[in-house]
Amino acid sequence: MITLIHTHGIGDIDYSSMHPSDLVHINEQAKTANLNVIPSVFLARDYMDTFEDVLKEYKRLESQLTHIKGFSVEGPLLGSSGGVPPRGIWRPNASEWKRISSFGPLGLKYIVFGPEGADLHEEIEDVSLSIVLSHLYTNGVKVALGHFQHGNPDLFRAMF
């Protein structure tokens, strides 16, 4: 049986700084370990260009990368709980959200938000979270809630 796991790296590769040329190596490492992986990236603003290149290369080689089952992103819109590096905590503007959403057809499967990051109708820079969610879902990117702050457990319970 092959296990599907969410990881932030494999072997000597940290997914938050991987390059397109790393994909074949990641796939081989996962195959050797009998794993299917969804590489999870702490998305920093200064890494978006490289991450987009990674996703384009993934799409090009998808049929050969049999042990990579897409990608996930943690952040932006996360707090520092859960070990998120500071560069992964930021608030994109509307054009950056559209760009992140456009990664869906390239293999971005889901994005992790901290629920304290914004209220549904709150403006995030220059766009509401409801519009962001609409763009994400339209492009096939699911939202996972995670990295909750520990100071407000009632907020977590109220979501379910």
In sequence order, the β-bridge partners of residue 73 are: 41, 111
Phi-psi group of 107: left, alpha or beta (phi > 0 → left; psi -120 to 50 → alpha; rest → beta): left
pLDDT in tens, the chain (160 residues): 667 777 899 999 999 999 999 999 999 999 999 999 999 998 999 999 999 999 999 999 999 999 999 999 987 766 555 566 677 677 788 899 999 999 999 999 999 876 555 555 556 667 777 888 899 999 999 988 765 555 555 654 444 4
**Residue 76 confidence (pLDDT):** 73
Domain-wise residue ranges, the chain: 3-158
CATH code for residues 3-158: 3.20.20.140
What pLDDT, on a 0 to 100 scale, did the predictor assign at position 106? 98
Closest CA to 48 of 9, 98, 121: 98
Query: ∠ CA(77), CA(139), CA(76), 5° rounding?
Result: 10
Please give the helix or strand (H or E) that residue 96 lies within, else none.
helix 94-101
pLDDT of 116: 57
